[in-house]
Amino acid sequence: MRHISFGTSGWRGILGESFTFENARIVVKAIADHLKAANEADKGVVISCDARFMGQRFAEEAARVLAGEGVPVYLCERDTPTPTLSHEVLRRKAAGCVNFTASHNPSEYNGVKFSPSWGGPALPTTTDDIERRANELLNTSCYQRLTLEQAKQNGLLSMIDPREHYLMTLEKLVDFEAIKRFGKVALNPLYGAGRGYLDTPLDRIGASFCMINANPDPYFGGNPPEPSEKYLWDFVDLVKNDHDLVLGLATDGDADRFGILDADGSFIEPNYIIALLLDYLVRVRKMEGGAARSVATSHLIDAVAEKHGIRLYETPVGFKYIGELISQDKIVIGGEESAGLSIKGHVPEKDGILACFLVAEMVAREGKTVRELLERLYAEVGRRVTRRDNIRLSPELEKKYAVRMGSLPASVAGSKINEIVTIDGTKILLADGSWLLFRKSGTEPLVRLYCEASTEKRLAELMDAGRSMICH
């Protein structure tokens, strides 16, 4: 039996291999034991899934196991966005949420994500306990299950649809009237849980929009449900060729990540979107507080924070750390380069739906394209360009990796090393303001290389230098 291991967003595996009904039941039993030990089980647990193959069946099995352990459950009637589940946990004051999702991963994957009562992704102290309990339970079949009908008869199962409560909150956070006046937008939920969430608010106010990839498809059209430029080719064609469209808004499989296309169909990197929204929320909305980004995310956000005289928090990768700052009301916005963000007064979880609509509001109220807004921001705080690459490690390179990270040179690509940050990986800050970050995968033999510089030429030099540091 494979070891069950929780990563930054829960436990994931390939369907039919490590991710089986039996293993999923054991993880859910471990969650029940964790909640009982914390005296929180009686508050109940929200359960749902994204649009993956057999997702609802996994959610129902989780409900049966939790009910068998005497834990009240609120089972969603259909696949549900991750931020909506976070919202429902907070609204109900529930003990947490069990969410069957593999987010933007390919269709052959599924996963279990647990969010505790504070609404954000579980912190390491929580996932470590659940992971320990799950691995102790492997091969024991130690759980009890009720049928769904038994669970209902015992008052332990309620069927719910949390969409309306979430959309009511969204309507308070976004100026949809401005979006309506702005023009026609394109929507793309990538066959995922964002169906009925991206379109409904616009439909209700009579805004002009069109939508693609809105039917449920467990194969996600043959591509990973990731709203990156690589997988949005059909969406790019749509926006580029329909001159009535002013913006393209996309979400991933569980709608916690976003993808933005400008009016000309060009893809705008999430790094830049987070910085633009920080500037907009502070300058136009007059919101107060700091800003947070992961160690792998653009320092353009730092420059905006400095412009407005607000505090910048740097966190390890994983939205749970940013979510904690949101729950403590310390920041206006927090985001990650992997297209996740949330804002003050909202859920401490990535929300791709909110991100999309905030960008639409920003563009509508500013009366400029995203690219025009970005160029204006560059003129005020300086240009930053970023890139990420995955470097595969041979067994020999993997053995040498730790040694190389422990014996860094005095300079990289002709610039002196000013500082080394090790909160998550090895981040090298250079004297010219550029930086590199090396993060080794915990599940694959690869290193993720992140670089940022002020020009494309300098960025290419850094990427070459970073690869050379690993591979030669």
CATH (domain of 64): 3.40.120.10
The answer to whether residues 230 and 187 belong to one domain is yes
Please compute the mean of the pLDDT values over residues 67-84 and round it to a whole number: 98
Q: CATH number of the domain that 435 lies in?
A: 3.30.310.50
The answer to whether residues 62 and 137 belong to one domain is yes
The answer to whether residues 292 and 169 belong to one domain is yes
The answer to whether residues 156 and 250 belong to one domain is no
* Band of pLDDT at residue 228, cut at 50, 70 and 90: very high
* Band of pLDDT at residue 142, cut at 50, 70 and 90: confident
The answer to whether residues 238 and 130 belong to one domain is no
Question: Does the pLDDT at position 73 exceed 60?
Answer: yes
Cα distance between residue 340 and residue 86, in whole Å: 14
Tokens of 287: 């919101």
Q: At what angle do helices 82-92 and 352-366 cross, to 10 degrees?
A: 100
| One-letter amino acid for residue 448 of the chain | R
Question: Does the pLDDT at position 1 exceed 50?
Answer: no
Last residue of a domain, one of 352, 381, 410: 381
The answer to whether residues 376 and 419 belong to one domain is no
Q: Token pair 């030429």 is at which residue?
A: 457
* Band of pLDDT at residue 138, cut at 50, 70 and 90: confident
The answer to whether residues 153 and 209 belong to one domain is no
Name the domain count of the chain.
3
**Please, are residues 97 and 89 in contact by the beta-carbon 8 Å criterion?**
yes
Please compute the mean of the pLDDT values over residues 374-396 and round it to a whole number: 95
Tokens of 154: 């015992």
pTM of the model: 0.95
- Answer whether residue 6 is part of any domain: no
The answer to whether residues 172 and 239 belong to one domain is yes
- Answer whether residue 210 is part of any domain: yes
> How confident is the model over 148-171, as pLDDT tens digits?
999 999 999 999 999 999 999 999
Last residue of a domain, one of 359, 381, 403: 381
Question: Does the pLDDT at position 217 exceed 70?
Answer: yes
The answer to whether residues 354 and 276 belong to one domain is yes
- Using a 10 angstrom Cβ sphere, with 0-12 exposed, 13-18 middle and 19 or more buried, the burial of residue 406 is exposed
pLDDT > 70: percent of the chain? 99
Please compute the mean of the pLDDT values over residues 184-203 and round it to a whole number: 98
- Answer whether residue 435 is part of any domain: yes
Determine the structural domain holding residue 239 and report its residue range.
Answer: 165-381
Please compute the mean of the pLDDT values over residues 119-135 and round it to a whole number: 93
- Answer whether residue 266 is part of any domain: yes
- Answer whether residue 272 is part of any domain: yes
The answer to whether residues 216 and 121 belong to one domain is no
